[in-house]
Structure 1
Amino acid sequence: MEKQGQRCSGLVLVPCPFQGHINPMLQLGAILHSKGFSITIAHSQFNSPNPSNHPNFTFLPIQDGQTDHDATSTDFISLITALNVNLVFPLQESLAQMIKQEEKKERITCVIYDAIMYKAEEAANHLKLQTIVLVTNSAATRLTHFTYPQLQAEGYIPPKDSMLRDLVPGLHPFRFKDLTILNFPNLEALLQLIATTIKIRTSSAIICNTVDCLEQPFLAQLKKQYQVPIFSMGPFHKIAPPSSSSLLKEDTSCITWLDKQAPKSVIYVSIGSAASIDGRELIETAWGLANSKPHFLWVIRPGSVRGLGWRELLPECFKKAVEERGCIVEWAPQKEVLAHVAVGGFWSHCGWNSILESICEGVPMICQPCFGDQRLNARYVSHVWKVGLELDNELERGEIERAIRRLMASKECEEVRQRATDLKVKVEHSIREGGSSYNSLDDLVNHILSI
């Protein structure tokens, strides 16, 4: 890539400090490093990534001003706002220092920032550095955000209880109950944050962790909303060299347990890195798994059960009922789990990364969305791609048992599994030479080099 006498291009990446955002940003960094760019990760000290997992990157900690109280706050809007406000000037100073220390062979070409870290654009602009935005959720989610002002003006927002199951005008097949804004405690603040994060002020392009074959209609509409190139070059985790970007310690003993199970016999259960359930829901989930009979690998993350620890809540009679049929861990190497031949289904919270990882391995899903874009993603899985079933009501052991039996051992299961396999093949074609994601990555590299 580098020509005689030409300086190497350096990229500064600014992730949002949550697991579902850090993962794709670090994967993007690995992809671009493989194309010859040097990578600096400018990150907050809150939820900072582990540099030892990425020895080819330079890590630049930025003072974020967050106290322990701030970091554990459930007020998402306040936390995001504080992170942006507190990061902008330290980031600007760090970038200025990097520019002063530029070596002859390296220069900062541009700053790539997570859309939620919108103040990074301001810091880069002050130093006349070009920027590119990374969108870590689906194109469909991004597109729905553009409709909120009109829906609010027409009286649809906040949606009334009587209309929750109605389709949103112009957004088929999504219902009002699927929207990101549903049940959010501070609706006006959320709408303001969304309005801020969807704006493209001076950035030259948008990168999306998605695939044309999954979201072509929504990507086409999204491209009409923006006057800059959109590079849909996912799934990042299948293109990036293997590495770990988990903020939690992965328990690999579950892989040894999976090795002893029959093909397609295990349902993998995980509600991700941020969602939580209460004690009643834990017990209902436990007995739904026990009564449905398939073997299961269940991730119960520290802090994911509100109140007492899960070990105290699970009764001894449950443990005896499942005996060797179940394996419970605090965190699992998810990509490796989903790729395992023993796994035949994924009970998921439907975070976008989890959905992409499941699709890439052809694993059908049970959808239990909790908040945010997860409801939109679940609707995608169950009603657009039809590679999963949706748990649409309050968690109850009978409904859980029926859903697991439908997914793992029914005529319907065979059809869902075949569609999941077909979708996996389409995504594989996309990342091969000549595929849409392969070509989009080449276009992104050329775009960066043209800056």
Structure 2
Amino acid sequence: MAIHAHIGVLAFPVVSHAAPLLTLVRQLAAASSSDIIFSFFNTEKSNCAIFSGQEFDNIKAYDVWDGTPEGEAFSGSHFEAMQLFVDATPGNFEKAMKEAESESGLKISCLLTDAFLWFACDMAEERRVPWVAFWAASPSSLSAHMCTDQIWSMMRSIGAAEREEKTLSFLPGMSSVRFSDLPGEILPENSESPLAIMIYKMVQKLPKSTAVVINSFEEIYTLIKNDLKSKFQNFLDIQLSILSEDPSIVSGDSDQECLSWLEKQRHASVVYISFGTVAEAQPEELAALAEVLETGEFPFLWSMRDNAKKLLPEGFLNRTSKFGMIVSWAPQLKVLENPSVGVHMTHGGWNSVLESISCEVPMICKPFLADQRLNSRMVELVWKIGVRIEGGVITKNGTIEALHYIMSNETGKAIRENLNKLKQKAENAVKLDGSSTKNFKALLELLKSSRGV
């Protein structure tokens, strides 16, 4: 079959960004009958983390330079690594794109990129090809970022102390959101940080995109959706594989061990804890959470990086071994699907929120950064499918209160009913005539209509 289009996919090398972008590409590749080829550009480390080796014939991964000086072992922080990568762009992508074009014999006919990579707008204009931007975070955070100038103007008229309670009632669908819930990169005092500069440049470029794609479903946020649709040529909600397991994911022995452990637990009794791949709670917060789990003998599955285990109270692992389990990584969707899981204690990342909705698991949110505070506010006050930990800091009393609230018959039942309603909307969105299905077909046609030379 003749190849109709060559799509250059530019990823931002953070798992919560690159993994859902790859999921979208896999779905597009499966639906395109091999008449479209996808060149996936990402750093070597990130590619190794998200590719399984069981890919479609029309997807090829290319490693781009991550900015680390050649021959030097990087030992800095996550944010320092991000800055090195940003400094290496867009030259690192340009080099890899030329390699992909040479190997395929086909010019790249469309750029499908992480929205953070604002320079893709200029690259697409130079090549005279469409630019499709993928927003990996929540719709509400994108809406807030697109209104950065308006938010700054409002902030000048209120004192710093007022931010705690003042809501964003002037923005569609944000009447329950406070200024203090906003992603840190929006705040004026953080405007000179590398990530804030990148996002602000993105805000200026996104209206020029051919389409903006987001991992969500329209029915979850009607007012915000309508506002975003008015800002872009095409705004496409495409719900990714949260309702069915990605076929490329293969469980290892350690995964099977924690899943087997879950099978032995009582229905809706387990507290599943995972704070994502970037941030980690402070030592005093970990100690408070550990004390609650131990004294209350709550069955728990805790996904925790190995270097954080040393921060737990001495002897905690031995004392809780009969009713708890700690793993360095867990297959989250499979965990949440297990009927023994009663609550998800989460950082409130957008992927985790969607997965909790799809599995009807109530959330206790402990936000750290980015859109997590905003997502947590929506979870608690708008959708009413969970709670945010009191004050945003894990304490013994706050955690006990949150657990009792979720686990109680009355409030817990209401939360689960709300989750069920949202899940039904999510399922309807991916039916043959659903909104996500229609948007996916529109994106596929857009890609097919681009032509390599």
TM-score, normalized by the shorter chain, greater than 0.5: yes
Match of 1:364 in 2: 362
1:360-439 equivalences in 2 (<5 Å): 360-393=358-391, 394-439=393-438
Output the CA distance in 1 between the equivalents of 2:202 and 2:75.
Answer: 21
Which amino acid in 2 is paired with 1:324?
A: K
Output the CA distance in 1 between the equivalents of 2:318 and 2:61.
Answer: 47
Output the CA distance in 1 between the equivalents of 2:52 and 2:146.
Answer: 39
Classify 1:312/1:167 alpha carbon distance in 2 versus 1 (closer, same or farther; 3 Å). Answer: closer
Q: 2:213 aligns with which of 207, 210, 215?
A: 207
Output the CA distance in 2 between the equivalents of 1:132 and 1:278.
Answer: 38
Q: Does 1:289 align with 2:293?
A: yes
Q: Is the 8 A contact 2:41 2:61 kept in 1?
A: yes
Deviation of 1:281 (Å)? 1.1
Q: Does 1:341 align with 2:343?
A: no
Which TM-score applies when normalising by structure 1?
0.88
Match of 2:109 in 1: 109
Which TM-score applies when normalising by structure 2?
0.88
Output the CA distance in 1 between the equivalents of 2:256 and 2:282.
Answer: 26
Which amino acid in 2 is paired with 1:115?
A: A
- Pick which of 34-43 and 366-375 moved more: 34-43
Q: Is the 8 A contact 1:267 1:346 kept in 2?
A: yes
Identity %: 25
Deviation of 1:86 (Å)? 1.2
Deviation of 1:408 (Å)? 1.9
- Pick which of 109-118 and 155-164 moved more: 155-164
Match of 1:221 in 2: 227
Output the CA distance in 2 between the equivalents of 1:312 and 1:70.
Answer: 24
Which amino acid in 1 is paired with 2:178?
A: R
> 1:338-373 CA distances to partner (integer Å, 9 max, x unpaired)?
111111110110000000111011111111111110
Match of 2:118 in 1: 118
Q: 2:97 aligns with which of 82, 95, 98?
A: 95
> 1:363-384 CA distances to partner (integer Å, 9 max, x unpaired)?
1111111111000000111111
Classify 1:340/1:97 alpha carbon distance in 2 versus 1 (closer, same or farther; 3 Å). Answer: same
Secondary structure in 2 matching 1:47: helix
Deviation of 1:411 (Å)? 1.4
Structure 2 unaligned residues grouped into runs of 5+: none
1:15-414 equivalences in 2 (<5 Å): 15-36=11-32, 37-50=36-49, 51-56=51-56, 57-67=59-69, 72-73=76-77, 76=79, 79-80=81-82, 82-103=84-105, 108-156=108-156, 160-170=160-170, 171-181=174-184, 186-189=190-193, 191-198=196-203, 199-200=205-206, 202-226=208-232, 228-238=233-243, 241-244=246-249, 251-303=255-307, 305=308, 310-311=309-310, 313-316=312-315, 318-319=316-317, 321-393=319-391, 394-414=393-413
Output the CA distance in 2 between the equivalents of 1:173 and 1:201.
Answer: 27
> 1:73-105 CA distances to partner (integer Å, 9 max, x unpaired)?
35x4x65454234131232233234334444xx
Classify 1:40/1:159 alpha carbon distance in 2 versus 1 (closer, same or farther; 3 Å). Answer: farther
Q: 1:14 aligns with which of 3, 10, 14?
A: 10
Deviation of 1:169 (Å)? 3.9
Q: Is the 8 A contact 1:89 1:123 kept in 2?
A: no
Classify 1:286/1:129 alpha carbon distance in 2 versus 1 (closer, same or farther; 3 Å). Answer: same
Deviation of 1:294 (Å)? 2.9
Output the CA distance in 2 between the equivalents of 1:431 and 1:59.
Answer: 28
Output the CA distance in 2 between the equivalents of 1:84 and 1:311.
Answer: 32
Secondary structure in 2 matching 1:38: strand
Post-superposition, which runs of at least 4 consecutive aligned residues in structure 1 deviate over 6 A? Answer: 68-71, 182-185
Output the CA distance in 2 between the equivalents of 1:427 and 1:22.
Answer: 22
Classify 1:155/1:345 alpha carbon distance in 2 versus 1 (closer, same or farther; 3 Å). Answer: closer
Classify 1:252/1:196 alpha carbon distance in 2 versus 1 (closer, same or farther; 3 Å). Answer: farther
Output the CA distance in 2 between the equivalents of 1:194 and 1:31.
Answer: 27
Deviation of 1:319 (Å)? 4.2
Deviation of 1:122 (Å)? 3.3
Classify 1:371/1:249 alpha carbon distance in 2 versus 1 (closer, same or farther; 3 Å). Answer: farther
> 1:45-94 CA distances to partner (integer Å, 9 max, x unpaired)?
343335444422211111232246767335x4x65454234131232233
Classify 1:102/1:320 alpha carbon distance in 2 versus 1 (closer, same or farther; 3 Å). Answer: closer
- Pick which of 147-156 and 373-382 moved more: 147-156
Classify 1:245/1:96 alpha carbon distance in 2 versus 1 (closer, same or farther; 3 Å). Answer: farther
Output the CA distance in 1 between the equivalents of 2:250 and 2:141.
Answer: 24
Q: Is the 8 A contact 1:252 1:333 kept in 2?
A: no
Q: For the aligned residues, what is the CA RMSD?
A: 2.7
Secondary structure in 1 matching 2:243: helix
Deviation of 1:152 (Å)? 1.9
Classify 1:148/1:250 alpha carbon distance in 2 versus 1 (closer, same or farther; 3 Å). Answer: farther
Q: Is the 8 A contact 2:302 2:327 kept in 1?
A: yes
- Pick which of 171-180 and 107-116 moved more: 107-116
Output the CA distance in 2 between the equivalents of 1:192 and 1:280.
Answer: 33
Output the CA distance in 2 between the equivalents of 1:265 and 1:147.
Answer: 42
Output the CA distance in 2 between the equivalents of 1:121 and 1:237.
Answer: 29
Which amino acid in 2 is paired with 1:208?
A: I
Secondary structure in 2 matching 1:58: strand
Which amino acid in 1 is paired with 2:198?
A: L
